[in-house]
Chains A and B, each alone.
Chain A
Amino acid sequence: MFVSLNWLKNYVDIDNISSEQLAEKITKSGIEVEGIEYVAEASSNVVVGYVQSCEKHPNADKLNLCQVDTGDEELQIICGAPNVAQGQKVAVAKPGAVLPGNVKIKKAKLRGVESQGMICSLQELGIEEKFVPKEFAEGIFVFPEDAEVGADARELLNLDDAILELGLTPNRADAMSMLGVAYETSAILDTPVKLPDESVNLSSEQAADYVSVTVEDAELNPYYGAFVIKDVKVKNSPLWMRNYLIAAGIRPINNVVDITNYVLLEYGQPLHAFDYDRFGSKEIVVRRAHDKETITTLDDQERELYSNHLVITNGQEPTAIAGVMGGADSEVSEQTKTVLLEAAYFSPAAVRQSSKDHGLRSESSTRFEKGVDPERVKRAGLRACQLLSEYADGIILQGPVEFDELNCTEATVEVSTEKVNERLGTEITSDEISDILRKLHFGFKANDGIFIVTVPTRRGDITLFEDMVEEIARIYGYDNLPYTLPAGAGQAGGLTSRQSLKREIKHYMEGAGLMEAITYSLTSKERAETLVSPEIREHATQSIRLSMPMSEEHSNLRLSILPELLASFSYNTARKQANLAYYEIGTVFVSPVAEKLTEQPRELLRVAGAVTGDWLLHPMQQEKKQADFFLVKGIVEGLLDKLGITATFKQAKLEGMHPGRTAQVYLGEQSIGFLGQLHPSLQQSYDLKDTYVFDLDMEALLGQTNNEPDFSKIPRYPSVSRDIALVVDQEIPAGDIKATIVEKAGALLKDVQVFDVYQGEHLQAGKKSIAFSLFYQDPERTLKDEEVEASYQAILSAVEKNHQAELRG
């Protein structure tokens, strides 16, 4: 809502306050002033001039040579505007004038003839093109005849007017009108409100002889008032009205249209003017549209209607979409003689539906959608009649013809001084509350600290005690509320163990050298379904799709964090940042069906990471180690170790991953993720060099954790270590042999580590040698050599049997 302060001055006295101070006060009381603008940028030395003569320029066809009287001097001005003519009153920028955009006007010679200034268009005076009335759009502006020669044009055109831009919250529909803003200002400044003149002289004729009103659905249209105005002269509206409309951001058209717009802004009540003679009948019937009925609206669009759209008809066909837009056939034009003026209350839901379906949002529809003040509907019609009689020479017929089932009852709300103070934590007195209610122009009965408040219908947002508490608090001033801390017995706040553990996992990842990234959960269908861990894939074959995505880039809910993480790698490598190590903890969305979900998907927390480029880099020492499989595996193992989780790694073939360099991670039989090298072709699609990734089920990690420190088990007896080097077929995974060792070694074996893998010289082709260190320990006593030897022999025979392993000689 744009509020012209000059316009506002017609209703409340704001002469003693600067526009900045007023803006601040309004903001602090609840309606945010988002900015203060002026109708036009500053200009100076522009006055009203009278064009005494206007002749063709002797040396140029398209230029005119004008003699202009500016009151104190007569100026010869060359003007190229097509509409300049003798006898006009125009805006003259005298030599020395400065126009918006810092255009300085000087005397100049044009084609050999001197020009002493410039005759201005509205655009040149700083008015936006879209608000300039059409008749002046291609030329200079012409003042009405009564403009005084020599007067300040800036003032006459209201160019200095300050405009407050109000950011209205949905509850404050009342402030979508000048009167509403006047009431608000009145409450804040404690000054009276002057209401506009609604008195009209009526002719002896009855509107009812000209038109009838039938409403078929009172719920959607509880009030319809039809005013008939005869002998209307369609012409320009008065300059002041055009000025205010421009200030409010509406282009002036003609007096009839301007008056409906003016009253719309003044009262917040949309009106519609039909050309009575083109309406098509003498009956107004408001009804739901018939399916597939059509109407051509004012913007010359043919629109198809359905039964959820409310229309105004002439008994036969629609003449307007109620509250949204009128029909082209009955539009007011220069030829209009009799105006049929509609002042109605249409239900917010009905207007919202039509406005949404037809993509039509207007000053009118936005007000109906929020609910107009029922008490002001008819008054707005009367106000328009008053203006039509004064500025369009209209004769107002007795009326209006009405359908009226509108509820104008004022809500009552009870508040007590005690309860108000209890809720706010204040010590406001009953007298202060009375005073606040008076400023708000709310009626009330007070008795011993209890108030029965009658809320004016313009404030339909106030129905509850709490609403009234807010009214009292905002006028009392939020600044005046004390600062207190809750008195209730304080509970100890804190993180749950799961939340703490999540933080610990983050710290581990960061300590391990990974940077935390946060990517989008909504991604393309392709990415959403790439690099999905087997245990996720098992429960979701497809990703969930939004019903109306904004773009295909963000259309589906991810099943894996990795694709967007890799996309961020692409972003970085394209910017010459080649060494990257990221992790992300986030949700993936798992549902057995991708469409028509009947319940919420399961949201599973994952921790994923990716590494590419150089890991260890110390050029001075010629050290440069690229990220590799064992780097990410080490990170994962470290995490599992930190969490006290024993997992196994199995060779795996997963889509998008290197077929020989991928491990699936298991907790017992349950898959909890994977790690490895990206498949070169996937890598290439992201424009990346060798990249290693991991993706783990955080739920499993958080659920399985056993990281309670256990101090009792610090060993007191020395451990014994033995090495064993085995020669096996190349294909046999070390993990399998290790598993056999762990299984057969007995309880004394505490740890097994691979410390060497070798293939090549001195070994048969197709064979490799793997060396393990075995660590034995008994917490209760010193080990005997025989015990270790027995275990060693058991291991040896088991690996010989299970893996055809031979002891390396």
Chain B
Amino acid sequence: MRERLQALKEEALAKVDQADTLNELQDIKVAYLGKKGPITEVLRGMGKLSKEERPVIGELANKVRETIAGELDAKKEKLEARELEEKLEKETIDVTLPGRPVTLGGPHLLTSIVEEIEDLFIGMGFEVREGPEVETDYYNFEALNLPKGHPARDMQDSFYITEELLMRTHTSPVQARTMGKYQGSKPVKMICPGKVYRRDTDDATHSHQFTQVEGLYVDRNVRMSDLKGVLNRFAKQMFGEEREIRLRPSFFPFTEPSVEMDISCKVCHGEGCSVCKGTGWIEILGGGMVHPRVLEMAGYDSKEYTGFAFGMGPERIAMLKYGVDDIRHFYTNDIRFLKQYHKA
């Protein structure tokens, strides 16, 4: 019997070894380990054995069983792995084909510029304030030292709705409103971005609607050198460390002294070229020390408080930074234009 078991084992293991499919393995399992299989048969014939031999043969038979079962499992695992491998092989795709495109939108270039400006000034302690686009004549002009009949009102021909209401021509009224709200009770450090409107015929460099970001800092002991320092930091962060700034005297009714700020030309580095019209400099923004009348009208004592203000046009900045050649591009919303300028 022992020989018989030994022979069965050899025979079964050889078959397992040769088996090439899971089905064959299943057949082998049924054939050798099933209830009608030879090992069961051997065990059934144990009655003929002596008392001493019975457990020995029994144990042997179980071992043979286990060995065969073990080998079957091992082989099964191997075959399964191979089968999976083959299946995956058949699933091969051409990985060089294009992926399914993700539909992603993006911000408008002006929004990117405005948010960049906001973030730069937030970094210097400024708050962001907004205000109405339809303004009163008072806040748009009078509170900014532009009384009715002031010649400088010519500079910004406006869209009036009534004699007292108009589309704001700059975002400075937001500053006047904010100061007016505080009535001299505390310092103000803010920028105000927004849409503004002027009576201009739309062409490559004019738009009846455009964007402005204006800034204001009013506190005790604010100096003109602070304005220069803040604008210099802004210009370097916005346009690059290598750019130089230059302030020139200018005129705005709401500041005195007033400045115009130029940055050195990116193309020629100050040598003079067609981009900067030969001057080496490009005008970028205007500003100055807040006019005492503006402070007084908003309830700030101009002996105690001083301040600076500045204003810039994101369109112009975008045009300089990205070479946009026509201001109308910002408002026609050509998809090919919008897609070009995704914030990195």
Contacts and interface: CB of A to CB of B under 8 A. Distances in A.
- Binding partners A and B: yes
A416 interface: no
Interface string A507-535: 00111111111111110000000000000
Interface stretch (A256-264, A301-309, A475-483, A721-729): A475-483
A615 B246 contact: no
B324 to A, nearest CB: 13
Nearest to B272: A20
A347 B281 CA distance: 39
Interface in B142-158: 149, 151-152, 154-155
Given A423-B223, A470-B257, A513-B104, A620 B251 contact: no
Contacts of A470: 249, 256-258
A451 interface: no
A808 interface: no
A242 B333 CA distance: 52
A517 B123 CA distance: 27
B118 A495 contact: yes
Contacts of B249: 29-30, 470, 473-474, 478
B127 interface: yes
B146 to A, nearest CB: 10
Given A170-B251, A522-B159, A423 B224 contact: yes
B106 to A, nearest CB: 5
B134 A600 contact: yes
Nearest to A506: B107
B105 A514 contact: yes
Interface stretch (A113-121, A215-223, A378-386, A576-584): A576-584
A350 to B, nearest CB: 11
A572 interface: yes
A41 interface: no
A747 interface: no
Interface stretch (B59-67, B71-79, B82-90, B161-169): B161-169
A580 B118 contact: no
Contacts of A169: 250-251
A469 B257 contact: yes
Interface in B200-228: 201, 208-209, 217, 219-226, 228
Contacts of B105: 509-516, 581, 583
A603 B133 contact: yes
Interface stretch (A140-148, A541-549, A695-703): A541-549
Nearest to A371: B151
A425 B224 contact: yes
A546 B18 CA distance: 94
Given A423-B224, A493-B124, A511-B105, A479 B247 contact: yes
A603 B127 CA distance: 21
Nearest to B259: A478
Given A423-B289, A572-B334, A513 B152 contact: no
A492 B338 contact: no
Given A30-B250, A550-B208, A572 B226 contact: no
A615 B189 contact: no
Contacts of B217: 486
Contacts of B111: 506, 516, 518
Contacts of A577: 334-336
A488 B118 contact: no
A373 interface: no
A474 B251 contact: no
Contact of B134 (A29, A170, A589): A589
A496 interface: yes
A490 interface: yes
Contacts of A544: 134, 161
A568 interface: yes
A547 B162 contact: yes
Interface string A160-183: 000000000111100000000000
Interface stretch (B21-29, B39-47, B48-56, B93-101): B93-101
Interface residues of A, number: 98
B269 interface: no
Contact of A616 (B103, B115, B306): B103
Interface string A354-385: 00000000000000011000000000000000
A442 interface: no
A298 interface: no
Interface in B94-139: 97-98, 100-108, 110-111, 115, 118, 121-128, 132-136
Contact of B101 (A483, A485, A510, A618): A618
A506 B161 CA distance: 31
Contacts of B135: 600
Interface residues of B, number: 87
Contacts of A618: 98, 100-101
B182 interface: no
A571 B333 contact: yes
A44 interface: no
B225 A426 contact: yes
Contacts of A370: 151
B321 interface: no
Given A464-B256, A572-B333, A597 B161 contact: yes
B225 A478 contact: no
Contacts of A171: 251
A32 interface: yes
B265 to A, nearest CB: 14
Given A170-B154, A484-B229, A583-B105, A515 B165 contact: no
A596 interface: yes
Given A546-B160, A582-B333, A583-B105, A172 B251 contact: yes
B69 to A, nearest CB: 38
Nearest to A474: B249
B291 interface: yes
Given A172-B251, A491-B125, A493-B189, A482 B225 contact: yes
B333 A478 contact: no
A17 B107 CA distance: 50
Contact of B104 (A172, A511, A517, A623): A511
A415 B331 CA distance: 49
B47 to A, nearest CB: 54
A249 interface: no
B243 interface: no
B92 interface: no
A466 interface: yes
Contacts of B259: 478
B88 to A, nearest CB: 21
A134 interface: no
A488 B107 CA distance: 35
B274 to A, nearest CB: 13
Interface of A: 24, 27-30, 32, 35, 169-172, 348-349, 352, 369-370, 422-426, 464-467, 469-470, 473-474, 478-479, 481-488, 490-496, 499, 503, 506, 509-522, 544-550, 554, 557, 565, 568, 571-572, 575, 577, 580-583, 586-587, 589, 596-598, 600-601, 603, 615-618, 620-621, 623
Given A515-B108, A587-B133, 18 more contacts: A30-B250, A169-B251, A170-B151, A170-B155, A171-B251, A464-B256, A466-B291, A467-B256, A478-B228, A479-B247, A487-B226, A488-B187, A493-B127, A515-B106, A515-B339, A519-B333, A547-B162, A572-B335
28 contacts: A29-B249, A30-B249, A352-B149, A425-B224, A464-B292, A466-B292, A469-B257, A478-B246, A478-B248, A482-B225, A485-B233, A488-B222, A493-B122, A493-B124, A493-B125, A495-B118, A503-B115, A506-B107, A513-B102, A516-B106, A516-B107, A517-B108, A518-B333, A521-B133, A546-B161, A572-B333, A600-B165, A623-B100
Interface of B: 97-98, 100-108, 110-111, 115, 118, 121-128, 132-136, 149, 151-152, 154-155, 159-162, 165, 167, 187, 189, 195, 197, 199, 201, 208-209, 217, 219-226, 228-230, 232-233, 246-251, 256-260, 277, 279, 289, 291-292, 306, 330-336, 338-339
8 closest Cβ contacts across the A-B interface? A425-B225, A30-B249, A425-B223, A470-B257, A169-B251, A513-B103, A568-B333, A510-B105
